[in-house]
Structure 1
Amino acid sequence: MLDPASAALLKHQPPSAAGGRPEIDRGQLRGLFLDSITKGTVRWDRAVSGVTPLTDGTCRLHFGDGTAEDFDLVVGADGAWSRVRPALSQAAPGYTGVTFVETGFDHCDTRHPDLARLVGNGSMLAKGVGRSLVAQRNSNGHIRAYIAVRVPQDWHAAAGIDLGDQRAVRTHLLRMFDGWDESLRYILRNSDSGFTNRPLFVLPAPHTWEHVPGVTLLGDAAHLMPPVGLGANLAMLDGSDLAHALVTEAGVDDAVRAYESTMLPRSTEAATGSAQGLDHLVPAATS
């Protein structure tokens, strides 16, 4: 953690000697999962438009091409804007008031050595009131950076900025971080990739539903929360718990009930903690 005005080190938390918090790039994790299953298991180009629970306890998937298929169990693992969720809940994600603007740096150790030293081998955070800079070292010499700001969702429209005009976005962001140390503003001036606007949305917490046979949710589809390091881990834990229940319980419906009885309370606790984490990451102004 660095001081925004001077880039002086405020806090350093080295990795534990036991290596208790390993990290992996999302794309590599996705590759591991896909490579571990039989080819053809994943059916690409079959976008789901919606689901209909049936009276016999099964569930019908409706596809974008107009076709439909019935399944014993449909697991909505389709993220923030889930097409499966409406079968269980009318809850919709709401804007948190915080937007991440993402950018990146390639070959950081040779092309951006000062930034590489600033970030180190893990993550770097510099935060002020209503705005923060976060940078994380990824594999293959890449640094991913987020400009985190408390702004209206349409901040760019209010500022008269076309998000496709990268120069205008850069100029506006530099103005927002006026007075910050130049070694930190380097993130705004010299990124290799463009700026991607990512407004943060969350589901209400707690987000629960009455059990419906034949369908359930996991991951962001079930408990979308601020991205402070829990989302992917929870999704994998959800999947593991559901798989274990399907193997050990007497039937599919019993398994889903057992899974939901564990997942829903856990996700409520995690969502509350993640909301607090976002407030810590991007502090709001106090009156």
Structure 2
Amino acid sequence: MQRSLLQNKQVAIIGGGPVGLLLAVLLQQRGASVKVYERDAGPEARISGGTLDIHLDLGQPALAAAGLLEAFYQLARPTAMRLADERGQVLLEEPVDEATAYDRPEIDRADLRCLLLSGLAAGTVEWGQHFQALEKLPGNRFLLRFAGQPDQVADVVVGANGGRSRVRPYVTDTVPEYTGSFIIQGQIPAGAAKQLAFGALVSQGNLLARAEGKMLFVHTRADGTLNYYVSFRQPADWLSQRGLPADQPAQVVALLAEELSGWAPLYHEAFQATTEFALLPMHRLPPTPNRLVTEAITLIGDAAHVMPPFAGVGVNIGLLDALHLADNLTKGQFATVEAAIEAYERTMCDYASQAQAGTAQAELDMHSDLGTVELMAANHPD
């Protein structure tokens, strides 16, 4: 590991999502001693949510740096898109274009996890580790505490544990802010989806439907399972006032019937066929260099700059984080780990801020009163 700042150091990555795993792959390939601590029980643990599109100019270069891009292409798939209205009428179809098919291909979250794990040595990921706290030790080391598990010690700590990161308060006092949008996430099993008019509308691709400031977006997984997101604007205290439990599907279906009362029956049939829901208030964490410490600890991915999914760039920016941080720590450009981290954070704040600005505009556009056709015309006047 020539000129690496990580010689004889132990790196702890808190969080085994795509971003944390990619950082581990990159560092391990360059000779670093790395451990990933993930709260999921094991690699087969179920991962909720729709597919991820990995962009040619963002996430794909990071995968290429890890030597995983060709394997990614074998698992990912180009996906067609349909735009529809609240009546279930198709307004526009965007078929797969062979020339750009792999500019933003989709991959199931579980498949991406398997791909990244394949690049790691056995035992790199410690499963069932729910991070609780850390303490500074003499000699510039950190003591990591986990619920019901032995303490661990590390020289470098990276928080990659999502928008609710428990590592973040040790780095910055900036906290996520509610954006004003609320998402109800649902999942329809493949077998049920095939029997629905809604499944025919989605047509094994992605679907975007909008009307009166409400939005529905649908992903199709590789096995035909449909994951969808219904998004609308609500005040911050809306959920607590409603007292809506995600584990009471009938109540969630009733809410969707109320919120989307003017939408066609095929949409409501899909809601009724949903086997599970998640209630997700959207938050944004402005990336900031407002550090509380000048030590060997930092954040990547949603832990550093959580943003809503309306522009589809969150995981891509996180993968870019992993690449920049790995390069800074291993390519001999900096005298100390702390200097490498500081430079990474400055660069990250610049590109993540741009991504958040684009996401914020997309969020406003998606919830505007303009219909989908009018919105597209406004954004593409030519």
Distance across 2 between alignment mates of 1:62 and 1:158: 35
Amino acid at match of 1:14: P
SS of the residue corresponding to residue 94 of structure 2 reads coil
Q: 1:217: Cα distance to partner?
A: 0.6
Q: Check 1:58–1:115 CA distance in 2 against 1; reply closer, same or farther (3 A cut).
A: same
Q: 1:162: Cα distance to partner?
A: 4.3
Distance across 2 between alignment mates of 1:220 and 1:140: 27
Q: Check 1:16–1:212 CA distance in 2 against 1; reply closer, same or farther (3 A cut).
A: farther
* Paired position in structure 2 for 1:220: 302
Distance across 2 between alignment mates of 1:274 and 1:56: 41
* Paired position in structure 1 for 2:17: none
Q: Please point out which of 207, 212, 226 is paired with 1:143.
A: 226
Contact kept, 8 Å, 1:97 with 1:153, in 2: the verdict is: yes
Structure-to-structure mapping, 1:33-48, within 5 angstroms? 33-48=116-131
Structure-to-structure mapping, 1:228-247, within 5 angstroms? 228=310, 229-247=312-330
Structure-to-structure mapping, 1:50-61, within 5 angstroms? 50-53=133-136, 56-61=139-144
Q: 1:128: Cα distance to partner?
A: 2.1
Structure-to-structure mapping, 1:205-216, within 5 angstroms? 205-210=286-291, 212-216=294-298
Q: 1:206: Cα distance to partner?
A: 4.3
Distance across 1 between alignment mates of 2:300 and 2:184: 26
* Paired position in structure 1 for 2:214: 131
Deviations 1:143-196 (A, max 9, x none): 1011212123453553464443321221221122112122333322332x1222
Contact kept, 8 Å, 2:182 with 2:232, in 1: the verdict is: yes
Q: 1:139: Cα distance to partner?
A: 1.2
Distance across 2 between alignment mates of 1:43 and 1:157: 35
Contact kept, 8 Å, 2:284 with 2:306, in 1: the verdict is: yes
Contact kept, 8 Å, 2:174 with 2:290, in 1: the verdict is: no
Aligned-residue identity in percent:
31
Q: Which moved more, 1:89-98 or 1:116-125?
A: 116-125
Q: Please point out which of 262, 269, 282 is paired with 2:367.
A: 282
Q: 1:80: Cα distance to partner?
A: 0.8
Contact kept, 8 Å, 2:283 with 2:307, in 1: the verdict is: yes
Contact kept, 8 Å, 2:193 with 2:225, in 1: the verdict is: no
Q: Which moved more, 1:213-222 or 1:11-20?
A: 11-20
Does 2:107 correspond to 1:107?
A: no
Amino acid at match of 1:61: L
Structure-to-structure mapping, 1:162-241, within 5 angstroms? 162-191=245-274, 193-203=275-285, 205-210=286-291, 212-228=294-310, 229-241=312-324
Q: Check 1:257–1:136 CA distance in 2 against 1; reply closer, same or farther (3 A cut).
A: same
SS of the residue corresponding to residue 93 of structure 2 reads coil
Distance across 2 between alignment mates of 1:53 and 1:282: 45
Amino acid at match of 2:289: T
SS of the residue corresponding to residue 222 of structure 2 reads coil
Contact kept, 8 Å, 2:129 with 2:149, in 1: the verdict is: no
Deviations 1:89-122 (A, max 9, x none): 1111122221211111222587335323311343
Give ranges in structure 2 of 5+ residues lacking alignment: 1-82, 371-382
Contact kept, 8 Å, 1:53 with 1:212, in 2: the verdict is: no
Contact kept, 8 Å, 1:145 with 1:187, in 2: the verdict is: no
Distance across 2 between alignment mates of 1:107 and 1:122: 13
Deviations 1:117-141 (A, max 9, x none): 3113431111123322111111111
Amino acid at match of 2:91: L
Amino acid at match of 1:84: V
Q: Please point out which of 355, 358, 361 is paired with 1:273.
A: 358
Contact kept, 8 Å, 2:172 with 2:290, in 1: the verdict is: yes
SS of the residue corresponding to residue 12 of structure 1 reads strand
Q: 1:55: Cα distance to partner?
A: 7.1
Q: Which moved more, 1:179-188 or 1:25-34?
A: 179-188
Q: Check 1:224–1:9 CA distance in 2 against 1; reply closer, same or farther (3 A cut).
A: same
Aligned residues: 282
RMSD value over aligned CA atoms?
2.5
